[in-house]
């Protein structure tokens, strides 16, 4: 039996990146895709979920033939033959489609399990579909319920707990030390790529004051311009160290640029305020002995990677629990949704039974 609710899509679970990049829908082509779907007779409602790792079409169509029409259209749209499309895509119906959207919105089905950005992308896709006036009672309700399911999952399970990239782990740790990052002053030694990403993460979490110091003054100036920071001459940074709450080391120096003695001296001047040292350099920029100094928290690249790995494992450990809960929620939601969905071609007795089940 084919159901009235369908999901046709490809993601990192079904297709390799070479295929995904071919079926990705650019913003310019989105309108064409919507227009094409609108022209398919019997497609009552539809929405396109389009992110960097997945393209999925959610549709409500009571007639079984519509499935063939959608496949034909999507094959044409992407200039794929039907067999290739079917090979690299998934087709889900009814309760399975509901459950799938819940998993997608909750980050359970994401490449980086538990990532929070996906919920925003699902919301954007929902708004886009609404702008194209192709949503109806079933998809509207389905998407709203998926937002609720995602929120529940993030609040009540560990799927989104802990960060899984080095930069995000560093930001998380800064939050554990300082709480609000808005008042934190950040000094970056060197101008490495990971340091740059870490600064972006810190700024996204509210950090405002960023100072860069590099042996090549011009390089520091370039990065400061890009990150809206200020520049400090490398020869002067030691004198100013006590003014900073977070110091990121990413120089190419062959020996530590800050020693334990220097760190102790800094803390003598700011005993109440902790310092967070993030050592992203190899060889290390900060003497490991600094970790013994009270109120200084020193993390090197290995420490951050280990935390990211542990968080990733913990998130993956939560997948099973999340799936069980989301399946239960999907079953419940589908019981109500199928009453909103247009009647399929099936005997009246079956429809009566469905109504009876929901009534109970």
Partner 1 sequence: MTLFLQMDDRAWIAAGNAVYAVAFVFALFGVLRSRQHSRLLLFTIVASGFILQTTGLYMRGLETRSCPLGNPFEIIQFVVWSLIVIYMAVGPAFRMSLLGFFSAGLAAVLGILSLIVPEWDAVRRESFLGDNVWIELHASMAIFSYGAFGVLALTSLMYLLQNHSLKRKKLEGVFGFLPSLYQLEHMNFRLLVLGIVILSGSILIGAQYWLRDPDAVNPAKLLITTAIWFAYVSVLVLRVRKTLISRPLAWVCIALFFVALLSIPTVSAGSRPMVEQTASASTIFRAFQGVLDE
Our CB check for partner 1 shows the closer of 35 and 302 to be: 302
The reply on whether position 274 binds partner 1 by CB under 8 A is: yes
Among residues 243, 262, 303, 327, the one that binds partner 1 under rule CB under 8 A: 303
- The neighbour count for residue 272, using CB atoms within 10 Å, is 6
CB of 293 to partner 1, least distance (A): 10
Stretch that binds partner 1, among 62-70, 225-233, 254-262, 269-277 (CB under 8 A): 269-277
Our CB check for partner 1 shows the closer of 313 and 346 to be: 313
The reply on whether position 13 binds partner 1 by CB under 8 A is: no
Closest CA to 62 of 166, 145, 138, 132: 138
- The neighbour count for residue 310, using CB atoms within 10 Å, is 13
Our CB check for partner 1 shows the closer of 206 and 225 to be: 206
Report d(CA 341, CA 4) in Å as an integer: 7
CB of 320 to partner 1, least distance (A): 14
Q: 31 and 128 in contact (C-beta within 8 Å)?
A: no
Among residues 5, 47, 173, 187, the one that binds partner 1 under rule CB under 8 A: 173
Sheet holding 90-93, edge to edge: 45-51, 54-60, 5-11, 90-93
Stretch that binds partner 1, among 2-10, 37-45, 80-88, 300-308 (CB under 8 A): 300-308
Among residues 26, 41, 255, 271, the one that binds partner 1 under rule CB under 8 A: 271
Number of residues that bind partner 1 (CB under 8 A): 26
The reply on whether position 299 binds partner 1 by CB under 8 A is: yes
Name the pairing type of β-strands 185-190 and 45-51: unpaired
Query: Long-range pairs for 67-76 at CB < 8 Å and ≥24 separation?
Result: 67/2, 67/6, 67/91, 69/40, 69/41, 69/42, 69/43, 70/6, 70/8, 70/37, 70/40, 70/43, 71/8, 73/36, 73/37, 73/40, 74/8
CB of 152 to partner 1, least distance (A): 12
Residue indicated by tokens 């390799």: 16
Report d(CA 114, CA 103) in Å as an integer: 10
Active-site residue set: 52
Tokens of 22: 């071919």
The reply on whether position 272 binds partner 1 by CB under 8 A is: yes
The reply on whether position 152 binds partner 1 by CB under 8 A is: no
Restricting to residues 180-209, name those near partner 1 by CB under 8 A. 180
The reply on whether position 25 binds partner 1 by CB under 8 A is: no
The reply on whether position 178 binds partner 1 by CB under 8 A is: yes
The reply on whether position 176 binds partner 1 by CB under 8 A is: yes
Tokens of 39: 């022209």
Closest CA to 258 of 282, 237, 230, 244: 237
The reply on whether position 307 binds partner 1 by CB under 8 A is: yes
CB of 333 to partner 1, least distance (A): 23
The reply on whether position 297 binds partner 1 by CB under 8 A is: yes
Report d(CA 175, CA 202) in Å as an integer: 10
CB of 183 to partner 1, least distance (A): 9
The reply on whether position 149 binds partner 1 by CB under 8 A is: no
Tokens of 115: 């990532």
Among residues 26, 39, 155, 349, the one that binds partner 1 under rule CB under 8 A: 155
The reply on whether position 310 binds partner 1 by CB under 8 A is: yes
Closest CA to 101 of 335, 318, 330: 330
CB of 105 to partner 1, least distance (A): 20
Our CB check for partner 1 shows the closer of 120 and 179 to be: 179
The reply on whether position 288 binds partner 1 by CB under 8 A is: no
Q: What share of the chain is helix, strand, coil (3-state, %, to 5)?
A: 55, 15, 30
Q: Which residues bind partner 1 (CB under 8 A)?
A: 155-158, 161-162, 173, 175-180, 271-272, 274, 291, 294-295, 297, 299, 303, 306-307, 310, 314
């Amino acid at each position: 039996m084919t159901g009235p609710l369908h999901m046709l899509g490809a993601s990192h679970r079904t297709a390799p990146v070479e295929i995904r990049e071919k079926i990705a829908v650019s913003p310019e082509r989105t309108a064409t895709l919507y227009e094409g779907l609108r022209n398919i007779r019997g497609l009552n409602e539809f929405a396109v979920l389009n992110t960097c790792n997945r393209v999925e079409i959610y549709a409500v169509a009571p007639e079984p033939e519509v499935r063939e029409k959608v496949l034909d259209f999507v094959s044409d749209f992407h200039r794929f033959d039907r067999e290739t499309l079917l090979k690299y895509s998934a087709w889900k119906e009814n309760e399975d489609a509901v459950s799938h959207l819940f998993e997608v919105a909750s980050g359970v089905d994401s490449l980086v399990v538990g990532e929070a950005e996906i919920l925003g992308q699902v919301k954007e896709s929902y708004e886009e579909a609404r702008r194209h006036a192709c949503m109806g009672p079933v998809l509207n309700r389905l998407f709203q319920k998926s937002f609720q399911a995602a929120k529940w999952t993030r609040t009540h399970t560990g799927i989104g707990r802990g960060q899984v990239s080095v930069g995000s782990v560093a930001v998380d740790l800064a939050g554990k030390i300082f709480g609000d990052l808005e008042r934190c002053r950040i000094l970056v030694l060197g101008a490495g790529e990971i340091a740059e990403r870490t600064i972006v993460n810190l700024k996204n979490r509210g950090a405002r004051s960023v100072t860069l110091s590099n042996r090549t003054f011009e390089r520091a100036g370039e990065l400061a311009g890009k990150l809206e920071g200020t520049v400090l001459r490398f020869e002067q940074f030691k004198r100013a160290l006590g003014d900073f709450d977070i110091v990121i080391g990413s120089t190419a120096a062959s020996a530590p640029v800050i020693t334990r003695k220097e760190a102790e001296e800094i803390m003598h001047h700011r005993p109440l305020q902790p310092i967070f040292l993030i050592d992203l350099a190899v060889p290390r920029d900060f003497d490991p002995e600094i970790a013994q100094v009270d109120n200084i928290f020193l993390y090197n690249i290995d420490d951050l990677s280990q935390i990211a790995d542990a968080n990733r494992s913990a998130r993956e450990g939560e997948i099973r629990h999340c799936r069980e809960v989301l399946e239960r929620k999907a079953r419940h939601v589908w019981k109500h949704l199928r009453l909103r969905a247009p009647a399929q071609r099936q005997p009246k007795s079956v429809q009566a039974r469905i109504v009876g089940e929901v009534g109970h």
